[in-house]
A and B are shown apart, each in its own frame.
Chain A
Amino acid sequence: MSDEQIKIAVAEDHSIVVEGIKTILALDATLQYVGCADKESDLFYLLQLNDPDILILDLNLGGVNGFDLLDKIRKEHAKIKVIILTMYNEPAFVRKAKMLGASAYLLKNYSSDELLDVIHNLNTEIFQTSKGVLATDPASDFSSPFSVISQLSPKEKEIIKHVAKGLSSKEIADELFISIHTVETHRRNLLKKLKLNNTASLVGFAYENKIVDR
């Protein structure tokens, strides 16, 4: 065995998946499969013993939360690079894996080329994902820091306009064909969102921000 070989361990509790990985790794002489663990205790023993360069980690190892494992591995074995291999195509998981220091996020319907590619490119600091992974920034466009008005939903804008005109909740409800409960709820939400105390300050806000014309 050459020192040039990259040592790869697998944490996976489905033997069929492990078989698949082994088959692919065997295609590349520079890669060395050093073993597999199907539960947490075995995993750390395996890491201790074989000191792999790369760990292919399933997010669902025998019921253990994979992110907890990832966190622990990154803390205790900082130089082991971790490739997440999972069925879960969830943006939240992709972000979390990246945040906890994983190097790549692969879906289980990867192709062999993809896996080999990722393995060989792990040296870079780029977080790699396989084809089809839903990676995106968290949905937070709604609360733009630049304008309070842009934080308001269309219904809220309509309601604030009617409040500024001096209509009561009942009148607004009739006008907009919604229930009084809906109007009241939106008004309550508005006060909370805009950190205002009462209807008067809400009306003031509407004029200051030119939601209604003077």
Chain B
Amino acid sequence: MKIRLLIGSLFLIHSYSFAASVPDSINVSSHKSISVGSQMLYFEDTTNSLGAQEVLALFNTNNGVRPNSPNPNFGITNSTYWAYIIIANPTSNPIDVLVHVDNFLMDTTRCFEIINKQQANLLGEAGDYLPFDIRPISNRNILFPIRLESNESKALLVSVFKDHSSVSLPIKIWHRDEFYKYEQKDTLLYGLYFGTMLLVLLYSLFLFINIRKKYVLYYFLYVFFLSLFQLNHLGFAFQYIWPNSTFLPNFGFWAMGILMTVFLITFARSFTKLKEVSALLDFYFKVITYFLLAFMVVVLLSPDSWAKYTSIAKTLYYYIQMTSAAGFILMVVLVLRKKSEEGKFFSIAFSALLFFGAIYILREVGIVPYNGFTQNALIMGSLIEVLILSLGITHLVNIAFSERQKMAEKLQEQQEELMIATIETEEKERQRISSELHDSIGSQLSFLKVSIEQSEKNDSLMKQVDGLAETVRRISHEMTPVVLEMDGLRAAIINLVDKLNIASETKFNLEWLDFPDQLSDIQSITVYRIVQEASANIIKHANAKEAFFQFTGYDNEIVITIEDDGKGYASISNDGIGLKIMRNRVGQLRGQIDISSQPLSGVSIVISFPI
């Protein structure tokens, strides 16, 4: 009441009026819908206790009021409003009409037919405090069907009541078929709206699964509750989802409105990094969030006390919503000043939402009239907002994706560098140990041999020294390929194959095809080590007559093929570690290695890597 007085004194629309006992007769022959508006008489029952018969008596004694607006809006009120209407069919054909109370959020609506100005007979009732099933026409809109025979006229009483809410009397008369045509268009529009919301939901869910940014999740939840809120608000939920609940449509209005607002705030805080923009405003929104949640919990836990204090609660709720709207306006200004990309999207989206939201709230409190535009204000506002925010999120996600990719590339680069550094260190260390073996121990052994020769002529001792020297040399060579170091990869491979041919039963063949001479140190050592590993496998396990090494160079890659005619599988499966090392080494150079074999037909290895 307080609010109504406050608003009414600011901007009163429905005020001056004059009394009459009978409303204008409305000609329903036209195919267009007719807004009853000022052609009716209305009566406000502040006691909410009068029956139709009593109200009819009051109308008959000149207590009816003629509204001055085609869509009278009484603002927030707790009264029952009664409309007195006369409809006439002057044609010679019967007409089926629908009396349409164009506000499906009414708690209760009833329609009576007045017989002989004396008798009010109930035709039907509808509203979201009544189960859906009792409606005379199963539709989310509140509709009462009436048949007018040729030259017949009927007097009707329509009552509407909505607990502590904005109430208007947008009564329309339709030809039945015309209404369904209109509704089809309407349904198409809402279909598009909810279809878009569904797409946005799926899209944001997909984004969230992929990039795990919190603001995307908040956004998803916001759009989810926004859609539920709208489904409920537009009567679809009542018609299709919970037709027999009178609690959910009403409680849902608050709960979904609150959850929607809470997630919108949380999303906005996260998306615009509000804490960095203004810690104070961030705190302000946090407080509002807790208020809203506490409010919802109270309503949920004690519906009884909620019903008792409905008026206070609703007023409080509207105040909190308005407070958050004010916060949003401030937020848009502050975020815009930061000139960030996400700020731009956010500001445009919220300006749209605030603009349409303001229209909606102004209609709710009775300042602007009830019509198609104001009725769909939230739909339009939220649609524009959601689409722009989706663009904004896509933009941010794009940035996040490309950053993540850059990071991954950088990481890969670092890993490669590390790998190369590791190999280099390893090789250096091998080199150090190997030259130590070579120079110090080798030299001393050679002197030892000369000494033994000179002093003792002990053949067995000399042989032992020889063997020792040979072992040292072999280890040293295996550790670091001296030919590779001094003469490059090709010489080292040839040398390796020469030695294999001298030392083993297998005949190793070697072929070069445009193989480049200039490979990096790391590539050379890797190729050498792979060939060393492969040939060791052949000698140890393959029992092959012949082996074939081919080194081929192409514009951007080198290819090495290694074949033998040995035992096949046995020779590779026996040496898992050697193969693993080979694969590792090829992987380090981003190369590819294919090893294939059949029993008794040798092993074939193909290695390629980019240069």
Q: Which A residues have a C-beta under 8 Å from some C-beta of B?
A: 14, 16-17, 19-20, 23-24, 60, 65, 67, 87-93, 96, 108-112, 132, 134, 136, 138-143, 151, 153-155, 176-179, 181-182, 185-186, 188-189, 192-193
Scoring B438, B454, B495, B510 by chain A CB atoms within 10 A of each residue's CB, the highest score goes to: B495
> When the two chains form their complex, are residues A96 and B487 in contact, meaning their CB atoms are under 8 A apart?
yes
> When the two chains form their complex, are residues B594 and A189 in contact, meaning their CB atoms are under 8 A apart?
no
The CA-CA distance from A138 to B238 in the complex, in Å, is 92
> When the two chains form their complex, are residues B606 and A186 in contact, meaning their CB atoms are under 8 A apart?
yes
Scoring A89, A185, A193 by chain B CB atoms within 10 A of each residue's CB, the highest score goes to: A185
The CA-CA distance from A34 to B22 in the complex, in Å, is 145
> When the two chains form their complex, are residues B498 and A138 in contact, meaning their CB atoms are under 8 A apart?
yes
A-B contact count (CB 8 A): 152
Residues from chain B with a CB closer than 8 A to the CB of A186 are 561, 606
Residues from chain A with a CB closer than 8 A to the CB of B608 are 185
Q: Which B485-510 residues have C-beta < 8 A from chain A?
A: 486-487, 491-492, 494-495, 497-499, 501-502, 507-510
Q: Apart from A134-B502, A154-B563, A188-B554, what are 13 other A-B pairs with CB-CB below 8 Å?
A: A16-B443, A20-B446, A89-B477, A90-B477, A93-B483, A93-B495, A109-B470, A112-B453, A136-B498, A139-B497, A178-B596, A182-B606, A186-B561
Closest to A136 in B: B498
Q: Which B residues have a C-beta under 8 Å from some C-beta of A?
A: 438-440, 442-447, 449-451, 453-454, 462, 465-466, 469-470, 473, 476-477, 482-483, 486-487, 491-492, 494-495, 497-499, 501-502, 507-511, 513-514, 546, 548, 550, 552, 554, 559, 561, 563, 565, 592, 594, 596-598, 602, 604, 606, 608
Point out the residue from A60, A112, A154, A179 that lies within 8 Å of B450, measured CB to CB. A112
Closest to A67 in B: B486
Query: Given contacts A14-B439, A67-B486, A192-B552, is CB(A139)–CB(B449) below 8 Å?
Result: no
Residues from chain A with a CB closer than 8 A to the CB of B453 are 111-112
Residues from chain B with a CB closer than 8 A to the CB of A182 are 594, 596, 604, 606
Point out the residue from A17, A67, A153 that lies within 8 Å of B550, measured CB to CB. A153
Least Cβ distance of A71 to chain B in Å? Answer: 13
Least Cβ distance of A179 to chain B in Å? Answer: 5
When A and B form their complex, which 8 residue pairs have the shortest distance between CB atoms, in order from nearest? Answer: A92-B495, A142-B509, A91-B498, A20-B450, A178-B596, A14-B443, A108-B446, A153-B548
Query: Given contacts A67-B486, A92-B498, is CB(A17)–CB(B446) below 8 Å?
Result: yes
Residues from chain A with a CB closer than 8 A to the CB of B494 are 92, 138-139
The CA-CA distance from A138 to B565 in the complex, in Å, is 22
Residues from chain A with a CB closer than 8 A to the CB of B482 are 88, 90
The CA-CA distance from A109 to B462 in the complex, in Å, is 10
Residues from chain A with a CB closer than 8 A to the CB of B438 are 60, 87
The CA-CA distance from A87 to B477 in the complex, in Å, is 10
> When the two chains form their complex, are residues A136 and B447 in contact, meaning their CB atoms are under 8 A apart?
no
> When the two chains form their complex, are residues A92 and B492 in contact, meaning their CB atoms are under 8 A apart?
yes
Residues from chain A with a CB closer than 8 A to the CB of B466 are 109
Query: Given contacts A134-B502, A189-B513, A189-B559, is CB(A179)–CB(B594) below 8 Å?
Result: yes
Residues from chain A with a CB closer than 8 A to the CB of B563 are 153-155
> When the two chains form their complex, are residues B454 and A189 in contact, meaning their CB atoms are under 8 A apart?
no
Least Cβ distance of A192 to chain B in Å? Answer: 6
Least Cβ distance of B485 to chain A in Å? Answer: 9
The CA-CA distance from A92 to B473 in the complex, in Å, is 16
Residues from chain B with a CB closer than 8 A to the CB of A14 are 439-440, 443
Query: Given contacts A138-B498, A178-B596, A189-B552, is CB(A90)–CB(B483) below 8 Å?
Result: yes
Q: List 26 A-B contacts (CB under 8 A).
A: A16-B443, A17-B446, A20-B447, A60-B438, A87-B443, A87-B473, A90-B499, A91-B495, A92-B491, A92-B494, A92-B495, A109-B470, A134-B502, A139-B497, A139-B498, A139-B510, A141-B509, A142-B509, A142-B548, A154-B602, A155-B604, A185-B561, A186-B606, A188-B554, A189-B552, A192-B514
The CA-CA distance from A139 to B451 in the complex, in Å, is 38
> When the two chains form their complex, are residues A134 and B442 in contact, meaning their CB atoms are under 8 A apart?
no
> When the two chains form their complex, are residues B476 and A87 in contact, meaning their CB atoms are under 8 A apart?
yes
Residues from chain A with a CB closer than 8 A to the CB of B501 are 136, 139
Least Cβ distance of A186 to chain B in Å? Answer: 7
Residues from chain A with a CB closer than 8 A to the CB of B443 are 14, 16-17, 87, 108
Residues from chain A with a CB closer than 8 A to the CB of B462 are 111
> When the two chains form their complex, are residues A91 and B499 in contact, meaning their CB atoms are under 8 A apart?
yes
Point out the residue from A20, A65, A112 that lies within 8 Å of B486, measured CB to CB. A65
